[in-house]
Structure 1
C-alpha cells in the first residue's frame, strides 16, 4: 500500500497558547485520524491573531486533511471560517437555511436571557456565512461544523468545545469530501498492552529484543499516569509479526500486564466488583477524594460506588471511620495500621464490601525524618482478602497525590483478582 494520507491538526484559541486551558481537541483528532487510516503528522496550536492563524492554516494545507477546531463563534475574533475560505480559495456566502436555523436557536437564547434579539442578529449572519461549496455537517449550539474540499486538501472545521466537536465528528467523517480521502486508505490494526509496576526501560528492552519497529508494525511506548502503555499499529499483512511482538512483550512482563485493551484501571476495578456483586467505598486522607473521583468518572459507577469519606483530620478518621484514637497516637496518622483501620472502617460505616484507604504525606510541608514527604500507605479490604502497601516518592504535591491515587486503584485490582505479586 502507498503511504497513508496525512492529517494536519490546527487547534485555535489564545487561551490555549497562554496556557490558561489544556488542548483536548488535538489529541482527539490525532487518535481518530489514526484509527481511520490517516497519518496524523502534526498538531499546531495557534492563537486568535488572524495573521498567525492564516499562516498556520497555509502550512497545514500541504496535508491531505486539515482538521481544525475553534473560532466558529459570533464574535469579532472568531475568524476561522473566513480564513479557511481564504486559504482554500473559496468565496464566502450566507446560507439561508443555516441562517434560519441559527436565528431560531438565538431567539430562544435571547428570550431565556430576556435580551433583545437585535443583540444577536449580527452574530447569526456571521455564523451562517460559510465557504462556497462547504458541506454543513451539523450545528452545535449556534456554531456549524463544516467540511470543505480545497484544491488538494480537505478542511474539517469544527467548534472548539470538546463535547460539541465530538458530537459533530461522525457526520464530518461521513461527508463526501472526507470519504474521498478515506477511500485511499484502510484502518490499521491495533494491539495494546498496559503495564503497571514495570519500568519504561524494561519494556523498551523487551521491545528491542522482539525486533522493535518494522515489518509493518509500528510500536510506541508511553509512560502515562504511572503506567506503561504500549501501542502496536499494524499494517494489513503484518498481523503475524504483531502477534510475535506482543508475545515477546507479554512473556517477560506478564506479572505487570494488567490489560490488553483500552480499559482504565478504574474501569477494571468496577468490573471486578460487578462480577462479584460487590459495592465499594473509599476512605481518603492525602488524596482528598481523588480515588473516588477516578471511579465515579466512569459512567455507570453508581451501581458499585456507594460513596467515600475524606478523612483529612485525625478526629474525622476517629469519628467518621471509627479509627481508634489510641491507634493514631501509637502509630501516627500516616501508617500501615491506620490505613488498615480506615479501610475496615469505611466498609463498616458505609455498609460496603470493598474499602479502599489512602493516607500519606503529600507535602510540601509536614514531613519528618521518619515519615518524609512522599510517604503514602494504602490498604484495601474486601471479602477476597485484604492487602496493604506503601511507597515513598520524593516529588511535588500533585505528583504524590496522583501516584497515590493510581497505586490505590491498582492495589484494589490486585486484591480483587488475588494477584498481589506485582510491584506497586
Structure 2
C-alpha cells in the first residue's frame, strides 16, 4: 500500500521535538511489507494541511496525518481535512459521553468548548480507539483512497497505529509477510546470502533494516508463491543467525530458562547496558541475578577478584582482563552464565596500541569462558550498543553449542 505521511506541528520544524513517530511508522511499514514512499512535516496551518493532503492523495493509496487532534487552538487537523475533502464536521455523542465519564472519574468538570472540540468527527469517518489518550483517531474512505488521522503524542500514536490502523489495513492485504531478525551479520552480508532466494523467486520484495549487531529481514510474498518453501530456504540459509524471539535479550532469557540457569554481567565501558537490556523485559528476575559495573581497576579487583598484577601487566582493556572478569563473576556470585565487557568507547582514551572502539567481550557457561576481541566503529553510543548486541549474540551461540 503506497503511503504518504504528513506530520503537523511547528515544534517539529523548530527542532524542539524529535519526530519519533516517523521512525515508528517507517519501521512498522517495513515490517508489514507496505511502502512508506514519502513524508511531509508542516506547521499547524489550515491551508498548508489542505494543500499537502490533496497533493499526497494524487499518487498514494493511503495518507496518514499525524497531530492536531487535541482541543486547543492549534489543533486544526480535523477541520482542515474535512474542508479539503468537502465533508461535514459532526459531533459524536458517544465520544462526548465517554469524555464526560472519564473526567468525572477524576473529579474534574470539563469546559463545554473543550467537550465540543474533542467530540468532533468528520462525516463517514470510522473512529479509531485511543487506549492511552483522549483524542480519537479517524479513518476516511474517500473513493479509492484512505485518509487516516492519528494523534501526535508518541504514547498515543504508536498504540493506535499498531492496534487500530495496522489491524484494519492488514485484513485487506493480498500478500504474506515474513519477518526475521538476523543476529551477528551486516546488512550487506544478509542481502548477499539472500541472493539464491532472490534468483529463485524474483517476484518477492526484500527489505533490510540494520541495527547494531542485527538486521531485520522482511519478505513480501505474493499469493501465488508457497510461503512454506520460502521459509525453508530462509531458515536453511541462516541456520544459526535467525532469532526465535523478538530480541537478543529475550532469546538469552529463553535459553537460560530452558536450562534453569542464572545470569549476571560484569560491565566496564557499557556501564550496565547489558543488564538493562535484560531487566527491561518483564519476568526477567527468574534468570537475572545481578550486575557489577566495574568501571575502575579498583572495582575490578575488589568485586571481581581481577589481580592487580594482571591489570598492571596487560591493562584493563585486554583479553586477560575480560577473561578474569568473567571468571571472577562466575566464581564469586555462583551464576551459570553471563557476560563481561571491557573496552574503550571513546571519544578519548585511545592510543596507537589500543584504539577507540577496541572491546574485549567474555561470555561464559558453567564449563567454559570464551573471549572475543572486537573493534567497533562509530561514536561512543554506537560502540556501546554494538558491544551489547555482540555480547548477547556471543553468549547465545555459546549456549546453543552446548
Q: Quickly name the TM-score band, shorter chain normalised.
A: 0.7 to 0.9
Among 241, 263, 282, the alignment partner of 1:258 is: 241
Residue in structure 1 matched with residue 21 of structure 2 by the alignment: 25
1:114-263 maps to which residues of 2 (within 5 A)? 117=109, 120-139=111-130, 140-169=132-161, 170-172=163-165, 183=172, 185-190=173-178, 192=180, 194-197=182-185, 199-212=186-199, 215-239=202-226, 243=229, 247=233, 250-251=236-237, 257-259=240-242, 263=246
Residue 353 (1) aligns with residue 349 (2): no
Tell me whether 359-368 or 50-59 shows the greater mean CA deviation: 50-59
Map 1:19-418 to 2 at 5 A. Answer: 19-29=15-25, 39-62=35-58, 63-109=60-106, 111=108, 117=109, 120-139=111-130, 140-169=132-161, 170-172=163-165, 183=172, 185-190=173-178, 192=180, 194-197=182-185, 199-212=186-199, 215-239=202-226, 243=229, 247=233, 250-251=236-237, 257-259=240-242, 263-418=246-401
How far does the alpha carbon of each residue in 1:27-70 deviate from its partner, in whole angstroms, 9 at most, with x for none? Answer: 54456557777544334444434444333322332333323332
Quote the Cα distance in structure 2 between the aligned partners of 1:392 and 1:39. 35
CA distance in 2, matches of 1:191, 1:95: 39
Q: What are the Cα deviations for residues 335-366 of structure 1, in whole angstroms up to 9, with x where unaligned?
A: 12221222233334444222211111111111
| Cα RMSD, aligned residues only | 3.2
Work out whether residues 182 and 242 of structure 2, in 8 Å CA contact, stay in contact via their aligned partners in 1: yes
1:126-166 per-position Cα deviation (integer Å, ceiling 9, x unaligned): 11122123232324422112222334422222222344334
1:350-407 deviation line (CA, Å, top 9, x unaligned): 4422221111111111112222211111111221422011112353212211111111
Q: Deviations over 1:103-125 (max 9, x none)?
A: 333455574xxxxx46x543332
Q: 1:144 to 1:237 in 2, by over 3 A?
A: same
How far apart, in 1, do the equivalents of 2:223 and 2:341 lie? 46
How far 1:327 moved relative to its partner?
2.4
Deviates more, 1:48-57 or 1:382-391: 48-57
CA shift digits 1:145-195 (9 cap, x unpaired): 222233442222222234433444534566xxx57x954x42424253614
SS at match of 1:401: helix
Q: Cα gap change, 1:122/1:345 in structure 2, threshold over 3 Å: closer, same or farther?
A: farther
The residue number in structure 2 matching 1:114 is none
Q: Structure 1 residues 414, 208: CA separation in 2 closer, same or farther (over 3 Å shift)?
A: closer
Question: Does the aligned pair in 1 maintain the 2:339–2:364 contact within 8 Å?
Answer: yes
Runs of 4+ in 1 over 6 A off after TM superposition: 34-37
* Residue 212 of structure 1, CA deviation: 4.6
* Aligned residue pair count: 399
